[in-house]
Amino acid sequence: MEKNEKMAKIAKKLGLKVVNTTTDGTGHTSNGLIGFETFEQAQEIANEHDFLKLARFQKKEGWGLWHVYDVGYVNEPMTITADKYGDDYYEFNDNMMSEREFIKLEVESALRDGFETFEEIEKLIERKKRIYYEIGRMGDDEKVIVQCGVFYEIVQSPTMNWCDRPNVKFHSIGLVLED
């Protein structure tokens, strides 16, 4: 059985996705596997099949091919931080903050900026309440991402799959056929 057929069988058995990949602009393409739940699962499959190597994958929205890099050098899942999003983003990764601590950190400091109407203050309070609500609902391996004081999203970190929404780039750790 050829390598691509073996890869397709693995994908079907584990519910993974076979994707078309490229490593450079030469036009050389290959197949890869993405959609792993854990790094250990991907590592186990790579160890069982010597023709598969761990790699990082990246694809912009609308692109047909996934760019593959770090082939054979990936040794842990991706750690997502607000820094990966760019300027004006920050994160909360501890859902043990008391309501009072949150108000002191987020609301009182924002109120010092000055407001002209009660409506503006009400909007600020609603945005901050949403952030606090999302912090309370995030799991142990999750982070709340905030942009300019407004809830943005909850992300899993560490993770095997991530979408950099400001730039609409998809990132994944998976397996690629070894040349």
**DSSP-assigned states of every residue in 104-118:** IIIIIHHHTT--S-H
- Band (pLDDT 50/70/90 cuts) for residue 30 is confident
Domain range for 113 is 82-156
Residues 145 and 170 in one domain: no
* Euclidean distance between CA atoms 42 and 12, whole angstroms: 14
Q: Is the dihedral angle over the CA atoms 97, 99, 104, 105 positive or is it negative? A: positive
Mean pLDDT (the chain, rounded): 91
Q: Kindly report, residue by residue over 127-176, the tens digit of the pLDDT.
A: 999 999 999 999 989 999 999 999 999 999 999 999 987 678 999 999 99
Residues 11 and 73 in one domain: yes
For residue 91, the tally of other CB atoms under 10 A from its CB is 18
Contact 162, 80 (CB under 8 A): yes
User: What is the model's pLDDT at position 103?
Assistant: 94
Residues 19 and 72 in one domain: yes
| Side chain identity, residue 7 | M
Residues 140 and 109 in one domain: yes
Residues 66 and 103 in one domain: no
User: What is the model's pLDDT at position 22?
Assistant: 87
Give the count of domains, the chain: 2
Residues 87 and 148 in one domain: yes
Does residue 24 surpass a pLDDT of 90? no
Mean pLDDT of 84-90: 90
Model's pTM, two decimal places? 0.81
* Euclidean distance between CA atoms 46 and 107, whole angstroms: 49
Q: Catalogue the E-assigned strands of the chain.
A: 17-22, 29-34, 52-60, 66-69, 89-92, 142-147, 150-156, 161-164, 169-177
Residues 121 and 88 in one domain: yes
